[in-house]
Structure 1
Amino acid sequence: MAHIIVVGNEKGGAGKSTVSMHLATALARLGHRVETLDLDLRQRSLGRYLDNRTAFLQKSDLTLPSPGHTQLPDADKDGLNVNETANEEKLSEAVAGLDASCDFIVIDCPGSHTRLAQVAHSLADTLVTPLNDSFIDFDLLARIDADGDKILGPSVYSEMVWSARQVRAQAGLPPIDWVVLRNRLGAQQMVNKMKIERALERLSKRIGFRVAPGFSERVVFRELFPRGLTLLDLKDVGVKQLNISNVAARQELRELIKALKLPGVEVTF
């Protein structure tokens, strides 16, 4: 059975599609069979990223290791179960069709609460939640006091993950390995940064997730999207000498994949 990785939270702009694309492509480069699903049916950031990759590789006559991408199939409304919507049926059908042929399925969720994203979270073996390093994003996980020191209670997204965990437990499935990524970390040791670090450490023990470093804010990520490329593709498309920022970003990706502790994955790049 495929190991399902869901990349999600309920806030836009946290870097979910960037993380999804780099994670899926890195796994493909490591020799794994990887398929992707984009549940943001309106914006399709991951789907468009992969479309850009296909077009660029065809235009450049290049072949690079790449994940596959599956569009959600049309659902037969007459065959739906009582509690299923058409999109839920599409997701179940797509995952069932990929389960035996893939090592990993990477699902990119929209930056909002949808029933489809909720179902995807219940399918997750590994849940990756990118979080910008600010209390605005932290509020998605938990409510905190005015000083940023005391956690008052879980917030909407944490409650949704809790519900997904209950669904998995009732179905007799292994628990979700939840990893929160601290994205766009600043280089300076600012007071807010240290407060967020302490708050995440306390909250992780309270609601059960692991904290891992994500990606720093870098211009290169915006430059890669139009060509559908990732950090690991640069040398293959003619970049002979990586600059310091690109080398550091590759190291961040390496550390991210190591931190996820995915089954059968040995990082060799």
Structure 2
Amino acid sequence: MSTGPGKCHVIVFANEKGGTGKSTTAVHVAIALAGRGARVAAYDLDHRQRTMGRYFDNRADTIKRIGRDLPMPRYLTHDGDSLPRFTEQLDELTTDVDFLVIDTPGRDDRFARMAAQRADTLVTPMNDSFVDFDLIGQVDPITYKVTRPSFYAELIWEARKARAKADGSTIDWVVLRNRLQHIEARNMRRVSEALDQLSKRVGFRIIPGLGERVIYRELFPKGLTMIDSRDFGEMGLAHVAARQEMREMMGALALPEPAMPLFA
């Protein structure tokens, strides 16, 4: 699958709940794509926390300090207020690139909604708990069967309809299950079954994401990712496992494939 000449594939990371690893995953995907040789841009819509923007700031400082080229998207941060600026920056970032990765705030936000309508791939990270599941669906407290989609699932449904009406395109909605390691097995099974039920009703794919690993937090100050493992010293078992998670996640996202291989 190819992005095609002049076609920018827009990947939007969106979840109205914080603490799901959304920004960390978005940064890793952007740098993984750049590491393949793709032309990548990144857009941080969360002007309050600015996690993605600060991650790339740290990365730029590291590149300058070590004097070595690392895969690096071009990136901008929105001001959270100006519609003309949003439109201008979006146009700038989708020009002459293969991918645009957008990180949205962990709250309801009008620019996040607008970004969702522009998505080719919409990624909703969630942890394996019914607290996170409640964002997209409600379950019976006794049987744990899905009773109805939640507001956010309906919002994505509306974004899909708007996109189809605008240009006939479809949005590939992906629910990404992060931080699976330390969840009690019965609860994990119940959440998994509820996700399977809801996916058939509202039409999203379910893929594995990143584990709950200290290494992801430790890499932030230097702006490094698991793609840069050669640049942060000796690899332990946790690093090897995290790189495998990245491989599996990138494969499951099924994004258009640039020519160069990932993790050469």
Equivalent residue, structure 2, for 1:254 = 247
Tell which deviates more after alignment, 154-163 or 211-220.
Answer: 154-163
Pairwise CA distance, 1:72: 3.5
Tell which deviates more after alignment, 259-268 or 247-256.
Answer: 259-268
SS at match of 2:138: strand
For the Cα contact (< 8 Å) 1:87–1:116, is it kept in 2?
A: no
Aligned pair count? 256
Equivalent of residue 62 in structure 2, options 43, 56, 59:
56
Pairwise CA distance, 1:187: 5.6
Equivalent of residue 24 in structure 2, options 15, 18, 23:
18
For the Cα contact (< 8 Å) 1:46–1:108, is it kept in 2?
A: yes
Equivalent of residue 215 in structure 1, options 207, 210, 218:
210
Equivalent residue, structure 2, for 1:2 = 8
SS at match of 2:167: coil
CA distance in 2: counterparts of 1:257 and 1:198, whole angstroms: 23
Equivalent of residue 33 in structure 1, options 21, 28, 39:
39
Pairwise CA distance, 1:57: 1.7
TM-score between the two structures when normalised by the length of structure 2: 0.92
Pairwise CA distance, 1:188: 6.6
Aligned residue type for 1:117 = A
SS at match of 1:62: coil
Query: Over residues 78-105 of structure 1, what are the superposed CA-to-partner deviations in whole Å (9 max), with x where a residue is unaligned?
Result: xxxxxxx953332222222232310000
Aligned residue type for 2:210 = F
CA distance in 1: counterparts of 2:143 and 2:209, whole angstroms: 22
Aligned residue type for 2:28 = H
Pairwise CA distance, 1:227: 0.5
Equivalent of residue 69 in structure 1, options 75, 92, 95:
75
* Identical aligned residues as a percent: 48
Equivalent residue, structure 1, for 2:256 = 263
Deviant stretches of 4+, over 6 Å:
none
For the Cα contact (< 8 Å) 2:27–2:52, is it kept in 1?
A: yes
For the Cα contact (< 8 Å) 1:88–1:119, is it kept in 2?
A: no
CA distance in 1: counterparts of 2:46 and 2:206, whole angstroms: 25
TM-score between the two structures when normalised by the length of structure 1: 0.90
Equivalent residue, structure 2, for 1:137 = 132
Cα RMSD (Å) of the superposition?
1.7
Report the CA distance shift for 1:249/1:194 in structure 2 as closer, same or farther (over 3 A).
Answer: same
Unaligned 5+ residue runs, structure 1? 74-84
Unaligned 5+ residue runs, structure 2? 1-6
